Amino acid sequence: MKRDSILSLISTLIVIIVGLLIGLIVLLASDSNQAFPAFWTMISFGLRNMRNVGDVLLGATPIILTGLSVTFAFKTGLFNIGAAGQFAFGGYTAIYIGVQFLFLPPPLRIICSILGAALAGAVWGAIPGLLKAYRNVHEVITSIMTNYIGMYLLSYTIQNTIFDINRTTTTRMPDDSNLPSLGLNYIFREPLGEGYRASAVNLGIFIAIFLAILVYIILDKTKFGYELKACGFNKDAAKYAGINQNRNIVFSMMICGAIAGIGGALIYMNGTGLSMTALPLLAMEGFTGISVAFLGLTNPIGVIFSGIFVSYLFLGGARMQPFGFSLELVNIVVAVIIYFCAFVLVVKTNIGKIFPKSREGE
């Protein structure tokens, strides 16, 4: 077991280095003069001061959750490519409650927003789950469809409910509907003139980490996790063991949806004034979640670190613009990393086959 985790860690680091090197090569090929300063900015910006560190954590919050959503599904044998839609539904519901439920006292309103987001995400995740369990349709294809359906549906709904026509987004939430910063603004800040400029990092990052640990406990320590993983590893054996796999598929997709939905809530409740667009666009966080999940080697604890890493890259990547490079470079790097992660997973799952205790002659 020990050797296994060390091997995973080393191979992940190698994969990250390879991805970054390829990114550097692309930069060098584009403009060799600016490449090194730009690259240095990308890989160091997140650590330049405490505010940046806070911003890395802030950016990591939603993608840890979408990554966790994909991870949970993967462990139970499902491929949740629908995190984008579940995320958006969660976000919308949270904002709706934050804007409309002003009769609730702020703490209760925030809790309602998060729970409402979880519920909305769960409902949207249940659709591919039900279709997989009872109609035998592959969840990848149905998730793709539900992503697009959700995109148009939400665009329409926003325009007819909580619409800010000037910005073509949702209406702005009152400040007390946002997550409290819990004093983090005193830690994650940088001096600016007379005072400080603080990062908006808040309670959300704790919720994300807490949920990651919770998922780890559910999967590894409980009866429910035993059942879910059995379904994921071998659904025929799970059926043989009397596990109701159809019910588990639906449960599993609902839990994934709830996690991604909470991710949507946390991003729009982070107090930076971010609103949800009314244009029909897919939530990129859903797809970034897939990267985060595989970079974390589909381990719930690993996802915390990979989420922070990807957020770190995005924060630094955005600072390459003055050198004439676009943020898309980060996506190229991440794509390369995921591509190589596929190999790492092969090595990991085949470890038993490659170094067997004793090999049969036949």
Partner 1 sequence: MDMFYFIVQQSMVFMIPLLIVALGGMFSERSGIVNIALEGKMVMGAFTGVLFLNIFQNPENVSDQGILLLALLVAMITGMLISLFHAFASINLKANQIISGIAINMFAPAFAIYIAIFYLDGQFVPFINQFRIASVPILGDIPILGPLLFQRTYITTYIGFLILAVSTIVLYKTKFGLRLRACGEYPQAADSVGISVAKIRYAGVLISGALAGMGGLIWIVPISSRFGGSVAGYGFLALAVLIFGAWKPMRILFASFFFGIMQTIASSFTAIPFLLNLGIPAAFYSMAPYVATLLLLAFTSKNTQAPKAAGQPYDKGMR
Partner 2 sequence: MYIIEMRNITKEFPGIIANDDITLQLKKGEIHALLGENGAGKSTLMSVLFGLYTPEKGEILKNDEKIKISGPNDATRYGIGMVHQHFKLVHNFTVLENILLGVETTKFGLLSMVEARARVVELSKKYGLSVDPDALISNITVGMQQRVEILKMLYRENEILIFDEPTAVLTPQEIDELMKIMKDLITEGKSILFITHKLDEIKRVADRCTVLRKGKLIGTVDVKTTEVETMSEMMVGRKVNLIIDKPEVKLGEVALEVTNLTVKDKITGKNVVNNVSFKVHEREIVCIAGIDGNGQSELVYAITGLMPSTNGVMVMNGVDISNLSIRKRCLAGMGHIPEDRHKHGLVLDYNLAYNLILQSYFSPQFQKYDFLRFNEIYKNSDMLIERYDIRSGQGGRTPARSMSGGNQQKTILARELSREPKLLVAVQPTRGLDVGAIEYIHKQLIIERAYGGVLLVSLELDEVMNVSDRILVMYEGEIVADVDPKKVTYTELGLYMSGAKRDVVNEELA
From the CB of 238, what's the least distance to partner 2, in Å?
A: 7
From the CB of 277, what's the least distance to partner 1, in Å?
A: 14
Q: State phi, psi for 135 to the nearest 5 degrees.
A: -120, 0
The answer to whether the beta carbons of residues 211 and 262 sit under 8 Å apart is yes
Centre a 10 Å sphere on the Cβ of residue 263 and count the other Cβ atoms it contains. 34
Calpha distance 235→284 (Å, rounded): 31
From the CB of 12, what's the least distance to partner 2, in Å?
A: 20
Specify the DSSP class assigned to residue 321.
Answer: G
Residues 103-142 that bind partner 1 (CB under 8 A): 127, 131, 135-138, 140-142
Calpha distance 41→39 (Å, rounded): 5
From the CB of 175, what's the least distance to partner 2, in Å?
A: 40
The answer to whether the beta carbons of residues 331 and 77 sit under 8 Å apart is no
Tokens of 108: 């209760």
240 binds, among partner 1, partner 2, none (CB under 5 to 8 A by kind): partner 2
x/- binding map, residues 285-324, to partner 1, per CB under 8 A? Answer: --x--xx--x-----------------------------x
DSSP 166-207: TTTEEPPPPGGGSPP-TTHHHHSEEEETTEEEE----HHHHH
- H-state helical runs in 269-299: 284-295
Whichever of 264 and 317 has its CB closer to partner 1, that residue is: 317
Tokens of 54: 């806070």
Question: Footprint of partner 2 on this chain (CB under 8 A)?
Answer: 1, 221-224, 226-227, 229-230, 233-234, 236-244, 349, 352-353, 355-362
30 binds partner 1 (CB under 8 A): yes
213 binds, among partner 1, partner 2, none (CB under 5 to 8 A by kind): none
234 binds partner 1 (CB under 8 A): no
Q: What three-state secondary structure class fits 277?
A: strand
Whichever of 172 and 235 has its CB closer to partner 1, that residue is: 235
Q: Which stretch binds partner 1 (CB under 8 A): 25-33, 88-96, 197-205, 234-242?
A: 25-33
Calpha distance 67→292 (Å, rounded): 5
Whichever of 188 and 287 has its CB closer to partner 1, that residue is: 287
The site for partner 1 (CB under 8 A) is made up of 26, 30-31, 79, 81, 127, 131, 135-138, 140-142, 144-146, 148-149, 152-153, 155-156, 280, 287, 290-291, 294, 324-326, 328-332, 334-336, 338-339, 341-343, 345-346
